Amino acid sequence: MGVEFIYPEFEVVRNYDRCIACRVCERQCANEVHFYSEERGVMISDEAKCVDCQRCVSLCPTRALKIVKSDSTLRENANWQNDTIKEIYKQANSGGVLLSSMGNPKPLPVYWDKILINASQVTNPPIDPLREPMETQVFLGKKPSRIERGKDGKIKCELPPQIALSLPVMFSAMSYGSISYNAHASLARAATELGILYNTGEGGLHEDFYKYGKNTVVQVASGRFGVHEDYLNAGAAIEIKMGQGAKPGIGGHLPGAKIVGDVSRTRMIPERSDAISPAPHHDIYSIEDLRQLVFSLKEATQYKKPVIVKVAAVHNIAAIASGIARSGADVIAIDGFRGGTGAAPTRIRDNVGIPVELALAAVDKRLRDEGIRGNVSLVVGGSIRSAADVIKAVALGADACYVATAALLALGCHLCRTCQSGKCNWGIATQRPDLVKRLNPDIGSARLVNLMTAWRHEIMEIMGGMGINSIEALRGNRLMLRGVGLNEKELEILGISHAGE
Amino acid sequence: MKRVYVNEEWCLGCHLCEYNCAYANSGLKDMVVALKDKKIFPRIRVEGEDRITFAVSCRHCTDPICVKSCIAGAISKRDGVVRIDRNKCVGCLTCVLVCPYGALAPGEDGIMQKCELCLDNACGAPACVTGCPNRAIVYEERSETQ
Amino acid sequence: MRIPSGCAIAAVISRTGRRMTGGAIMEAMKPMHDRSNGLGGGFAGYGIYPDYKDFYAFHMFFDCRDTRKKCEAFLKESFEVVKGELIPTRKMPEITDEPIIWRYFVTPLRSVLADLQLDEKEFVARTVMKINVEMNGAYVFSSGKNMGTFKAVGFPEDVGVFYRLDEYEGYSWTAHGRYPTNTPGWWGGAHPFTLLDYSVVHNGEISSYDANRRYIEMFGYKCTLQTDTEVITYILDYLIRRQGLTLTEAASVIAAPFWSTIENTTNSYEKEKLRYLRTVFPSLLITGPFSIVLGFDGGLMALNDRLKLRSMVVGEKDDRVFIASEEAAIRVMEPDAEKIWAPSGGEPVIVTLKEGAF
C-alpha cells in the first residue's frame, strides 16, 4: 500500500445467490484470485490478482461470476489517461521497462474496417458456391518469368518449390516455449487436416511433431534456437524471421523459467537459461547478407524448400520488400504493427511499426512497378481477424494471410494480454504441466478446423457474390474494394477508390 | 456397449463432474436450488491430488462383484448396466467393501447409490461427460482389449 | 475506371481463304439489335489489305488536325510511312460526332530496331502503347498487318454502313454490338480491341479485371480504354506472342480448368502442363461471364468462360465457320448452316486457314 498502490483494474462480481461454493473457480485460477473461507462458508476473492482471463467465468457451473472493469477512477483527463498514469506509477515503483503481450490495443486506425467489398448486380451474375465450384487453393513461391520448351516442343514443367494451401491462410509463428506443447499439437494437427501450414516460431520443432512436417514452416530466427539440418529439412518451407510486427527492431526473450524439459531440449539450450534472441541476425547486417543466408538454407535443403523472409511493417517497407524480392527468397511475410506477441516492451508494441494494410498496398504496388511481383509471394499478418479481412488482404494484393491471435482465441485465449506471466489459465502461453493439460489437442485442433472451415465458407460466399470463382482472380483485384471515411492520401496508398466513386 | 471412460491425461481436477452428477440426480431444475449450501453426494469422485487427478465412477464390470455380494439382492445388471434398487438396499455396505474402484457410496439418506449412466434422470447422456470442460471423461464404445 | 457491359458478337471465317465482303457480317448483327444499345459497334476484317500486306495498318482516331500532324511526325521518326489517308466513310444521321479517322501503312525503320535491340512486333506494340497513353487526342485502334478494325459509337449495322465495309473483302470477319451500362460515349471504347494482328470482341463482364490488369501492366501494357475487353487482348498478346504459348495453352490459362478437373486428367503431360500453367499464371485467369472471339493472322478462336455464363454458338457450312451470340445471327449469314453447337465453358474453338490457303 502507500504511494505505489494502484487500485485493481478488475472487480470480481460474485452472485452469492447463485454461488454453490463448488470451488471450481479456485481450482482453475493460476493467479489465486479465488479462495474458500472456512469461517464464513463462502467463496471470496482477491481481485488485485485478477487478469480478466475469464477462465473462472467460463467454468462456473451456475454463472455466479462475472469480471467487470473497476469503476474506481482517477479524475478524468483526456491527456493523462488512467492507463498512462498507472504505467507511470508502475515504472516509478520498478524502474523497469513495461512488458505487454498480444497485439497493440490502442485506438489507432484499423483500415480493414474502413474498406468495403463489392458484389455483382445485374450486369454480372453472382455465383452460388453451393452449386458451382469455388476454388480457394493457392500456391506460394516464385513463378518462372518465361515459359521454356524442350526439343520436343513440350513445355518444361519444372517449378521452383511451391507451398500448396487449400485456402489462403496459415497459422503464423508462435514458438514452442512461448506457447505450450498442446497448443503446438493443436495447430499442427489442424494445419494437417485443413491442408494449410503452421509455423514453429523460433523455438525449434519438438520431435513428436516431425510427422506433421508437410504442414510445417520451420523458422530460423536471430537466436537460431533449435536449428539443425534435420530441422530445416523437416518442414514444407523455411522462414527467416527478420522482425515481428509487435516489436520491430528488437529481439526476443524467453525467460529461463520457461526453458524446462522438452523446451530446453528442443531449443538446444541448457535448462533455466534465458533464451535471448538478438535484435539483428548477427550474420545479416545488410541485404546482401540476407541473400547469403537464403542461399545457405537452400543449399542445406537441396533447393527443395521455399524460403520465406518475415519482416515487420516499418516505414520503408516497400524498399525493403523490393530488396528481399531480389534476394532469392520465395515468399515475403509482412507483419503489421497490430501483430501479437508472447511478450514485448509496451512502448515498442504500441508505438513502432505501421499498419499492415498500408504496408501490403505499398509493397504490392512497388513490386509490380518494378515488374518483380512474380518473383515472390506475399503473406501478411498482424491482426487478420476474420474471413472479411482475408478477402480484403487478398484483394489488396496478398497471396495469403498469417493468422495467430484468431487461432489462439479458437483455442480458448480470452486476450487478457498477460502471456508474459507464464500463468495462462487456458493452457496456451504456459509451460506449467498442470496448466498445459487444460488444452486438450483433440478439442483444440477440432476448434481450429471449425474456425478455418467457417472462414473458408465465408470466403467462398463473398467471392461468389463478386462473381469470382477462384481466389487467384481476387488477388490484387483492388477494384473490388472501396474505402469509407478515408482521406485522399490513404486511398492513394491503398490504391482504392472511395465508396461512391 | 458405451461406457464412461476417463482420460486422466486431460483431467484437470476441477471437480465439475461431481457437481454435475449431483445436480443431474437431484431431479431439480435449478442447479442452485439443488446444490446451494448442501453437502453433495455425487456418484463420481475425482481422486488424486495435484498433478494427477482422475474421476472414478462405476465401471459396469463384466462380472460385477457387487452384484454377487449384495445380501439384499438390490444390485443387478441389466442391459450391461449395473443398477441398484434403492428400495431393496439395507445399507449393509458390503458392496463398498468389495468394489475395487470405490464406485458405490451412501447417498444423503444413507442408502447406497451408484452411477447408472444418467439413464433414469432427465439428462439423456451422462452429465459428467457433457459437463467436462476438457473431454477428460468420455462416453464411448471401446473394445474389451482397450 | 471500368465500364460493365453486355453485348452481341459474331464472326465468320472461310477456311479456304475465300474472300468475303463485310456485307454478310453486317447483316448478322441485325437480328441481335437488342443486344446493343447504340453506344458502340465495330468490326475486324482479316485479309482486307492484300496490296499492303507487308505493312502495319494503323487505324487512328484524332481529335484535331494538329494532333494528327504531330502524331504523323512522331511516326515518321521511327517508321517508314508508305501511305496515309482518310478512311472512307459515308455520312449518315445515325453516326455523329466522328473524330478524324485515318489509316497509315507503316513499317519500322531497320536502324531504329537495331538501335533498340527489339524485334519488329515488340517495337510496334510499344509504339501503339506510347501513342495511346501519352499522346492526348490520338488513338491507335488497329495495328496489324493485312487486317483492320472499324469501330464507332452507334449500332453495329450502322457502323458497318458508315465504314463502307461492303467494299472490303476479307477471309474472316468479327463483329460486335455493345450494351454498356455506362459510357463516356467514346469511339475508342467500342470493340474490337486490338494489338498487332490480335483483335478481341467480347460479350461479358470480367470480375477478375483488376487482378488481370495489374498483372499485365507489369509487362509494359497500359489499360487506357475504360473497358475490360482491352485487358483480354493484352493477355492474349502476352501469352501467345511473348510467352510463345499455343492458342489452346493460352485458353487454358485464361479459362483454366478447375483444379479438380486437372487432377482427373489422365494424360500425364497434359495434366502436368495444365497444373504448371495455372500455377505460373494465376493472375491471368479470367473469371466472370465472357464469350470472346479472338481474331488473328490466319484464324479465329472462340472461347467461353469456364462456367459458360454467356451464350455462344458455332455452325459450319462448306468452307465457312460461323460464331455468334445467337443462332439467329448465323442463320442470317447462312440459312443452311450445319452442325450448330454450343461449345462448353472453357473449351476453345480454333479455326485456322488451310495451309497456304491465303
Residue B136: closest C-alpha in chain A? A440
First to last CA, chain A: 60
Question: Do B84 and B125 share a domain, yes or no?
Answer: no
Structural domain range at position B71: 61-100
Handedness of CA A305, A309, A310, A313 (dihedral sign): negative
Domains of chain A, first to last:
2-96 (3.30.70.20), 164-460 (3.20.20.70)
pLDDT at position C182: 54
Note the pLDDT tens digit of each residue in A449-460.
Answer: 999 999 999 999
Please name the member of C276, C286, C288 whose beta carbon is closest to the beta carbon of A159: C276
How is chain B classified by DSSP, letter by letter?
-EEEEE-GGG-----HHHHHHHHHTTT-S-HHHHHTTS----SSEEE--TT--EEE-----SS-HHHHH-TTS-EEEETTEEEE-TTT-----HHHHH-TT---EE-TTS-EE---TTSSSTTSS-HHHHH-TTS-EEEEE--TT-
> What are the tens digits of pLDDT across the range A290-323?
999 999 999 999 999 999 999 999 999 999 999 9
* Confidence tier at B146 by pLDDT (50, 70, 90): very low
- Res. A2 pLDDT band, cuts 50 70 90: low
Distance CA A470, CA A466 (A): 11
Number of domains in chain B: 2
> How confident is the model over B129-144, as a mean pLDDT?
90
Q: What is the mean pLDDT of residues C179-200?
A: 81
C71 is catalytic: no
> Which residues in chain C are contacts of A306 at CB distance < 8 A?
none
Q: What is the pTM of this model?
A: 0.93
pLDDT score, position C185: 67
Q: Which of A19, A41, A438 is the closest to B12 by Cβ?
A: A438
Residue C215 near chain A (CB below 8 Å): yes
pLDDT tens-digit map of A357-389: 999 999 999 999 999 999 999 999 999 999 999
CB pairs below 8 Å between A and B: how many? 55
Beta carbons within 8 Å of C82's beta carbon, 6+ residues apart: C52, C55, C105, C106, C107
Residue B51: pLDDT band (50, 70, 90) is confident
Chains in contact with C, where contact means 3 or more Cβ–Cβ distances below 8 Å, are A
- Residue B86 and residue B127 in one domain: no
Q: Does residue B107 sit within a domain?
A: no
B78 and B94 both lie in a single domain: yes
Q: Is residue B5 part of a domain?
A: yes
A127 touches chain C (CB under 8 A): yes
Residue of chain C whose Cα is closest to the Cα of A158: C276
Taking 50 as the threshold, does the pLDDT of residue C2 lie above it? no
Tell me if chain C has a CB within 8 Å of the CB of A428.
no
pLDDT, one tens digit per residue, over C234-262 is 999 999 999 999 999 999 999 999 999 99
Same domain (yes/no): B40, B22? yes
Q: Which one from C7, C64, C71, C223 is the annotated catalytic residue?
A: C7
Please tell me which of the candidates A20, A24, A438 has its beta carbon nearest to residue B31.
Answer: A20
Ordered by start, the domain boundaries in chain C are 5-244+288-352
Say yes or no for a CB contact (<8 Å) between C211 and A476. yes
Show residues of chain C in contact with A163, CB under 8 Å. none
Look up the CATH number of domain C5-244+288-352.
3.60.20.10
Identify the helix (H) or strand (E) that includes residue C357: none
CATH number (domain holding residue B95): 3.30.70.20
Do B122 and B79 sit in the same domain of this protein?
A: no
Q: Give the gap in angstroms from C-alpha B93 to the nearest C-alpha of chain A.
A: 27
DSSP class per residue in A316-380:
THHHHHHHHHTTT-SEEEEE-TT---SSEEHHHHHHSS--HHHHHHHHHHHHHHTT-GGG-EEEE
SS3 state at A283: coil
Length of chain C: 358
Partner-chain residue, chosen from A146, A157, A466, that has the shortest CB–CB distance to C276: A157
Give the residue on B whose Cα is nearest the Cα of A434.
B51
